[in-house]
């Protein structure tokens, strides 16, 4: 057997966060999915430019030391320029497979291929990246590992755009059942980050996600492009297992739900609150929501408070009524 392959995740830097530095949930779930399956074949690493404010040159210096065979770059819209610059520089110094994913890749996958990436993966990345890596491992190690959808790669629920070597092009489909992998934070040093739940910024929090997707399509928002409009929920017990595991491992008791609308599904929320009480798990939490959804569920607020919900994050889109009424928010009060 050949030596293990090296795969490095990269988060390019971006401005405007001042000292706020959250860990990357997307990388933690991709790593969680991949390490379970491929630890015998791959050594994983992560260059996160955010905590150390690394510029593109410094990222390349680190990559030149690591010399990975596969580089996975995560890209939100505010990281597009940096990513293109990084890809150009990688091409000059390393012979490696470059895979891009993340919100902006879902919007403009071809942009990254046209600028030198080998693959752009859209939507949730776990299964598509897993299948792609299986194909790469099979080719390089001369193996015949099965794909997640073993009958047909086109059944892959995401889309990989591709150029020459592997001659692959997948269909663009959303997976209506896959609710995501649990994050595995071992890929990063949690001490470098300062996620919090806004009450006391010195107390560290971890992100958690119980659902994926949002049924709305507000004009300014790209959620549906990444997750689709069908909302998928994890079992509340599974979410609490994750939180309990993290409390024990990291001694972190504050949790920041990254779901687009945690309170959307009333039945799920009631079940979740019941399970918190039943298991008597003591953690503080906040979530994202919409004012009219909070209002609709106002009878649950006291119960949420008893379960240590400390607040909500709400977006203020505009002060202009006309604009507000025309941004497709589908508010039903």
Q: How far is the CB of 65 from ligand B12 (least distance, A)?
A: 20
> Which CB sits closer to ligand B12, 14 or 148?
14
Q: Residue from 221, 247, 273, 301 that binds ligand SF4 (CB under 6 A)?
A: 221
Residue 153 C-alpha from the chain's centroid: 23
Q: Which is nearer to ligand B12, 131 or 236 (CB)?
A: 131
Site of tokens 């004012």: 291
The nearest distance, CB 56 to ligand B12, in angstroms, is 17
Binding mask 256-295 for ligand SF4 (x = CB under 6 A): ----xx----------------------------x-----
Using CB under 6 A as the binding rule, whether residue 24 contacts ligand SF4 is answered as no
d(CA 221, CA 242): 28
Q: Which does 209 bind (CB under 5 to 8 A by kind): ligand SF4, ligand B12, none?
A: ligand B12
Give whichever of 218 and 270 is closer to ligand SF4, judged by the CB atom. 218
- Phi and psi of 329, rounded to 5°? -85, -10
The residues that bridge with 254 in the sheet, in sequence order, are 205, 284
Among the residue ranges 32-40, 64-72, 100-108, 215-223, the one whose residues contact ligand SF4 (CB under 6 A): 215-223
178 binds, among ligand SF4, ligand B12, none (CB under 5 to 8 A by kind): none
> Binds 101, which of ligand SF4, ligand B12, none (CB < 5 to 8 A, cut-off by type)?
ligand B12
Residue 68 contacts which entry, ligand SF4, ligand B12, none (Cβ below 5-8 A, type-dependent): none
**Distance in Å from the first CA to the final CA of the chain:** 62
Whether residue 215 contacts residue 225, with contact meaning beta carbons closer than 8 Å, is answered with no
Dihedral sign (CA 298, 226, 186, 52): negative
Choose the one of ligand SF4, ligand B12, none that binds residue 218, judging by a C-beta under 5 to 8 angstroms depending on kind. Answer: ligand SF4
**Distance of alpha carbon 123 from alpha carbon 223, whole angstroms:** 10
Q: Is residue 216 within the footprint of ligand SF4 (CB under 6 A)?
A: yes
Contact residues for ligand B12, defined by CB under 6 A: 14, 16-17, 22, 24-26, 29-30, 72-74, 76-78, 99-104, 107, 121, 124-126, 129, 180, 207, 209, 221-223, 226, 258, 260
Distance of CA 332 to the CA centre of its chain: 29
In which element (H, E) is residue 283 found? none
293 is in the binding site of which of ligand SF4, ligand B12, none (Cβ under 5 to 8 A by kind)?
none
Going across the sheet that includes 309-313, the strands are 205-208, 254-257, 284-288, 309-313
For residue 294 the two structure tokens come to 């909070």
Burial of 53 (0-12, 13-18, 19+ CB in 10 A): exposed
Neighbours of 278 (CB within 10 A): 11
Residues that bind ligand SF4 (CB under 6 A): 214, 216-218, 221, 223, 260-261, 290
């Amino acid at each position: 057997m050949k030596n293990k392959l090296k795969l490095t995740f990269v988060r390019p830097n971006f401005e405007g966060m001042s000292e706020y530095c959250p860990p990357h949930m997307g990388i933690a779930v991709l790593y969680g999915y991949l390490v379970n399956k491929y630890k015998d074949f791959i050594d994983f690493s992560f260059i996160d430019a955010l905590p150390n404010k690394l510029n593109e040159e410094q990222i390349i210096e680190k990559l030149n030391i690591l010399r990975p065979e596969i580089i996975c770059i995560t890209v939100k819209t505010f990281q597009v320029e940096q990513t293109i610059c990084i890809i150009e520089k990688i091409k000059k110094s390393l012979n490696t497979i470059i895979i891009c994913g993340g919100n902006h890749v879902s919007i403009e996958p071809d942009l990254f291929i046209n600028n030198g990436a080998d693959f752009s993966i859209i939507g949730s990345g776990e299964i598509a990246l897993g299948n792609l890596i299986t194909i790469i491992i099979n080719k390089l190690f001369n193996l015949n590992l099965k794909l997640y959808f073993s009958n047909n790669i086109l059944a892959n629920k995401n889309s990989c755009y591709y150029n020459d070597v592997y001659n692959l092009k997948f269909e663009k489909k959303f997976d209506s059942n896959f609710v995501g992998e649990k994050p595995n934070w071992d890929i990063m040093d949690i001490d470098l980050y300062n996620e919090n739940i806004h009450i006391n910024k010195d107390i560290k929090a971890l992100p958690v996600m119980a659902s994926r997707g949002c049924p709305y399509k507000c004009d300014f928002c790209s959620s549906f492009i990444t997750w689709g409009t069908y909302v998928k929920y994890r079992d509340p017990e599974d979410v609490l297992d994750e939180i309990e595991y993290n409390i024990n491992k990291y001694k972190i008791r504050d949790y920041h739900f990254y779901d687009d609308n945690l309170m959307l599904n009333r039945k799920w929320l009631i079940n979740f609150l019941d399970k918190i009480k039943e298991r008597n798990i003591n953690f503080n939490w906040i979530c994202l929501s919409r004012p009219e959804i909070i209002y609709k569920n106002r009878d649950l607020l006291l119960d949420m408070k008893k379960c240590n919900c400390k607040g909500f994050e709400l977006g203020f889109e505009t002060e202009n009524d006309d604009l507000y009424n025309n941004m497709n928010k589908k508010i039903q009060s």
